[in-house]
């Protein structure tokens, strides 16, 4: 029984010390609440930084609200084969007046919990090779506005 | 009460089950190697080990429980049987080998007796196998044929099949991947391994655009029973062996060295009597930081090599 190693190519110095080719970071930052009274909503800054060639840009900054994340989840559940992770809660109960003594979904603590959940959510999805094929993901991360009348499709 | 249990109740009431005790003893019981085998319930039994072509001979002792009381019978015989049993079809045994020796013609036994039997140079074309949904077994069965109820005794045997060194044993070398995400070239030095061999190979990373956490190699056994549209597969992971911890980059080679001797493995069985197959696969699995799994399965052939000096050894088979 021979247990000698099979012939291996030696790794070049350039490859060994090259910049990693798998850099993908998405930050969800800077929650802002807009509007007054019942017409208020909160949106977040989505900052993409990457060197993956599948994302045609290396950096992108957009603002998105919770319902935009819901839209993305539905598009991916319908069109892609991936198991889409869960979003942080919708908190219907907190939106009913009289039932809440505080600001409900505009409380700082609630917004921070939601921000963290959205960050985990978008990083999980964007790193999935099958989700990276979907046009809806790229539109979500890069385009200024989400066009809900777009034609769904794959990009490669 | 079910029918069989009523039957047994009557038997014991009238003492039919107790009338005679049968013992089967092999002539070479002190020199023949034995092997420890786990049965369906997980109990371990010691069975005599036979090879293809070996003679099976010994003695059948029939003890009459109540001396003086004679035992009437329609003949006494001993059979050497090789059969395939499907677990979902319990009553249905497929016998692929059946030899019989008459020990006594119809008559009466008045006292305990011993009979000699010999099955010369018996062909045993397959290795014994105790599986998840199928069993291949060899046994000696003594039957005292009687009008109401036969008295039988069985002795299970175990058979190993040896193969000779394969003339051709190509390496398995392949480039696989996901476009623009991950390209690897894997190589396993052989495609046919004997049971105490070592799997030696390497994984070479051509492109890494995902964040890999670790990589492991698993050995999977897949048992297929049935044919045509009724094939039923059941897989079992024999072992998982981590070969890399951490994130590789382009140009890195990860060596593989996995020793098979420590695992419960049996030779690859292909389409045995058109009833079942047992095949083995190497499963290379890469896991990324989000617990996503990327894998590639490759079949390998396992064979049993005749070791030098393999006489009265004890080793585990399940």
Residues 126-145 of A with CB under 8 A from B: 127-129
**What average pLDDT is seen over chain B?**
89
B62-77 in b/e burial notation, b at 16+ Cβ within 10 A?
Answer: bebeeeeeebebeebb
Q: Is the pLDDT of residue B180 over 90?
A: no
Q: Which residues contact B291 (CB under 8 A, 6 or more apart)?
A: none
Please choose, from the candidates B261, B269, B188, the residue with its C-alpha nearest in 3D space to the C-alpha of residue B224.
B269
Cα-trace Rg, chain B: 26
Regarding whether B111 and B76 lie in a shared domain, the answer is yes
Tell me phi and psi for residue B21, to 5 degrees: -115, 130
| CA–CA separation, A138 and A146 (whole Å) | 10
Range scoring the smallest mean pLDDT among A28-32, B55-59, B134-138, B226-230: B226-230
Least Cα separation, residue B298 to chain A (angstroms):
18
Test the A interface: residue of B202, B244, B251 with most A CBs within 10 Å: B251
Query: Band of the pLDDT at B16, cuts 50, 70, 90?
Result: very low
**Which H/E stretch holds residue B208?**
strand B198-208
Q: Is B211 an interface residue toward A (CB < 8 Å)?
A: yes
Question: Smallest CA–CA separation between A9 and chain B, in Å?
Answer: 7
Cα distances (Å, whole numbers) of residue B71 to B74, B106, B109, B143 = 10, 11, 5, 13
> What's the DSSP call for residue A39?
G
Q: Are residues B77 and B152 in the same domain?
A: yes
Residue B175 sits at the chain A interface (C-beta within 8 Å) = no
At B50, list the tokens: 């036979």
Q: Report which of B237, B239, B247, B236 is spatially closest to residue B286, judged by C-alpha positions.
A: B247
CA-closest candidate to residue B295, choices B307, B278, B309, B283: B283
Average pLDDT estimate for B64-86: 91
Question: Do A127 and B290 form a contact (C-beta atoms < 8 A)?
Answer: yes
Token pair for residue B57?
Answer: 């001979």
pLDDT at res. A97: 66
Q: Are residues B127 and B204 in the same domain?
A: no
DSSP for residue A17: T
From the list B178, B207, B252, the residue facing A129 with the nearest CB is B178
Smallest CA-to-CA distance from A88 within A130, A47, A146, A44 is with A44
Whole-number Å distance between alpha carbons of B83 and B154: 13
Does residue B165 sit within a domain?
no
Residue B50 and residue B145 in one domain: yes
B195 and B226 fall within a common domain: yes
Q: B113-136 pLDDT, tens per residue?
A: 999 999 999 999 999 999 989 999
In the stretch 7-26 of chain A, residues with CB closer than 8 A to chain B read 8-9, 11-12, 15-16, 18, 20-22
Are A49 and A23 spatial neighbours (Cβ–Cβ below 8 Å)? yes
The structure tokens listed for A149 are: 């009348």
Tell me which of B284 and B92 has the higher pLDDT.
B284
Domain boundaries, chain A: 20-142
Indicate whether B309 belongs to any domain.
no
pLDDT for the residue A83: 92
pLDDT of residue B103: 95
Do B142 and B14 fall within a single domain?
yes
| B264 and B179 belong to one structural domain | yes
Q: Which backbone phi and psi does B31 adopt, to 5 degrees?
A: -110, -20
* Residue B314 falls inside a structural domain: no
Q: Which residues of B touch A2 (CB under 8 A)?
A: 189, 200
**pTM for this entry:** 0.83
Nearest by CB to A8, from B249, B253, B288: name it. Answer: B253
**B 264-303 residues with CB below 8 A of A?**
288-290, 292
Residue B102 lies in a domain: yes
C-alpha angle B138-B143-B147 in degrees, rounded to nearest 5: 145
Which string of DSSP letters, residue by residue, matches B95-142?
EEEEEEEEEE-SEEE-S-EEEEEEETT----S--EE-SSEEEEEEEEE
Please give the angle made by the CA atoms of B56, B61 and B67, to the nearest 5 degrees. Answer: 170
Are residues B185 and B77 part of one domain?
A: no
Verify whether the Cβ–Cβ distance B200 to A5 is below 8 Å: yes
Domain boundary among B160, B181, B197: B160
Q: Which of B125, B160, B195 is the last residue of a domain?
A: B160
Percent of chain A with pLDDT over 90: 62
pLDDT at B318 over 70: no
pLDDT in tens, B181-225: 899 999 999 999 999 999 999 999 999 999 999 999 999 999 999
Cross-strand partners of B264 = none
Confidence of residue A39 (pLDDT cuts 50, 70, 90): confident
Q: What torsion do the CA atoms of B228, B232, B238, B239 make, to the nearest 10 degrees?
A: 90
On chain A, the residues whose CB falls within 8 A of the CB of B197 are 1
Whether the complex's predicted ipTM surpasses the cut of 0.90: no
Residue B215 resides in a domain: yes
Q: How many CB pairs under 8 A join A and B?
A: 72
Residues B123 and B189 in one domain: no
Which residue in A3, A21, A22 has the most chain B C-beta atoms within 10 A of its own C-beta, making it the best mutation to test that interface? A22
pLDDT digits (tens, 9 = 90+) for A61-116: 999 999 999 999 999 999 998 999 999 988 887 777 666 667 778 888 899 999 99
Compute the distance between CA of residue B67 and CA of residue B74 in angstroms, rounded to an integer: 20
Determine what percent of chain B is predicted with pLDDT higher than 90.
76
Do B10 and B129 share a domain, yes or no? Answer: yes
CATH of residue B42 = 2.60.40.640
Q: Do A5 and B197 touch (CB under 8 A)?
A: no
B198 at interface of A, judged by CB pairs closer than 8 A: yes
Chain-chain contact of B209 with A52 (C-beta, under 8 angstroms): yes
Total of domains in chain B: 2
Please indicate, yes or no, whether residues B188 and B235 belong to a single structural domain of this protein: yes
- In sequence order, which residues have a C-beta less than 8 Å from that of residue B249 and are 6 or more positions away? A15, A16, A18, A20, A21, B205, B208
Task: Tell me if B179 and A156 make a contact (CB, 8 A cut-off).
Answer: yes
Query: Please, what is the average pLDDT of chain A?
Result: 90
Q: Does domain A20-142 have CATH number 1.20.140.10?
A: no
Average pLDDT over residues A23-48: 92
Q: Has residue B94 got a pLDDT over 80?
A: yes
Whether B211 sits inside 8 A of A22 (CB atoms) is: yes
Asked if residue B317 lies in contact with residue B36, where contact means CB atoms within 8 angstroms, the answer is yes
pLDDT of residue B12: 45
Residue whose token pair is 């590639």 = B296
Q: Tell me the C-alpha distance between B209 and A20, whole Å.
A: 8
In this model, does residue B156 exceed pLDDT 90? yes
B75 and B145 Cβ atoms separated by less than 8 Å: yes
- The residue from B160, B188, B211 where one domain ends is B160
Q: Can you give the residue range of the structural domain that contains B127?
A: 3-160
* Conformational region of residue B164, where left means phi above 0, alpha means psi within -120 to 50, and beta covers everything else: beta
**B chain contacts of residue A84, beta-carbon cutoff 8 Å:** none
Please answer yes or no on whether A128 and B249 come within 8 Å at the CB atom.
Answer: no
Q: Is residue B250 included in any domain, yes or no?
A: yes
Q: Which two tokens stand for residue B117?
A: 């039997």
């Amino acid at each position: 029984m021979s247990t000698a190693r099979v012939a291996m190519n030696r790794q070049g110095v350039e490859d060994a010390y090259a910049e990693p080719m798998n850099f993908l970071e998405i930050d969800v930052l800077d929650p802002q609440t807009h509007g007054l009274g019942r017409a208020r909503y909160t949106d977040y800054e989505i900052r993409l930084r990457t060197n993956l060639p599948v994302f045609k840009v290396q950096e992108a900054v957009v603002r998105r609200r919770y319902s935009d994340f819901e839209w993305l989840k539905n598009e991916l559940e319908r069109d892609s084969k991936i198991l889409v992770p869960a979003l942080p809660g919708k908190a219907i109960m907190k939106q009913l007046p009289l039932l809440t003594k505080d600001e409900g979904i505009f409380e700082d603590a609630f917004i921070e919990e939601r921000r963290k959940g959205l960050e985990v959510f978008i990083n999980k999805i964007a790193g999935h090779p099958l989700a990276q094929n979907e046009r809806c993901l790229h539109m979500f991360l890069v385009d200024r506005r989400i066009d809900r009348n777009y034609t769904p499709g794959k990009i490669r | 009460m079910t029918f069989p249990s009523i039957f047994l109740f009557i038997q014991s009431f009238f003492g039919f089950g107790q009338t005679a005790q049968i013992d089967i003893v092999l002539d070479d019981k002190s020199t023949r190697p034995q092997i420890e085998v786990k049965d369906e319930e997980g109990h371990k039994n010691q069975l005599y080990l036979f090879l293809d072509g070996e003679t099976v001979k010994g003695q059948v002792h029939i003890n009459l429980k109540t001396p003086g009381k004679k035992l009437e019978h329609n003949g006494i015989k001993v059979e050497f049987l090789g059969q395939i049993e499907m677990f979902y079809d319990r009553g249905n045994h497929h016998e692929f080998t059946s030899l019989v020796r008459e020990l006594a013609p119809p008559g009466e036994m008045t006292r305990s007796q011993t009979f000699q039997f010999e099955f010369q140079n018996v062909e045993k074309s397959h290795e014994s196998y105790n599986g998840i949904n199928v069993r291949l077994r060899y046994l000696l069965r003594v039957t005292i044929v009687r009008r109401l109820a036969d008295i039988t005794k069985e002795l299970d045997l175990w058979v190993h099949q040896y193969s000779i060194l394969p003339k051709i044993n190509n390496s398995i070398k392949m480039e696989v991947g996901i476009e623009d995400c991950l390209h690897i070239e894997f190589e396993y030095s052989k495609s046919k391994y004997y049971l105490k061999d070592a799997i030696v190979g390497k994984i070479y990373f051509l492109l890494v655009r995902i964040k890999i956490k670790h990589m492991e190699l698993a050995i999977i056994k897949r048992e297929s029973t049935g044919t045509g549209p009724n094939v039923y597969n059941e897989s079992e992971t024999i072992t998982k062996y981590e070969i890399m911890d951490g994130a590789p980059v382009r140009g890195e080679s990860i060596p593989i060295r996995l020793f098979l001797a420590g695992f419960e493995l049996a030779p690859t069985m292909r389409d045995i009597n058109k009833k079942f197959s047992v095949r083995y696969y190497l499963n290379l699995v890469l896991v990324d930081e989000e617990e996503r799994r990327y894998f590639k399965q490759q079949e390998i052939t396992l064979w049993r090599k005749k070791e030098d000096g393999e006489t009265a050894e004890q080793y585990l088979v399940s």
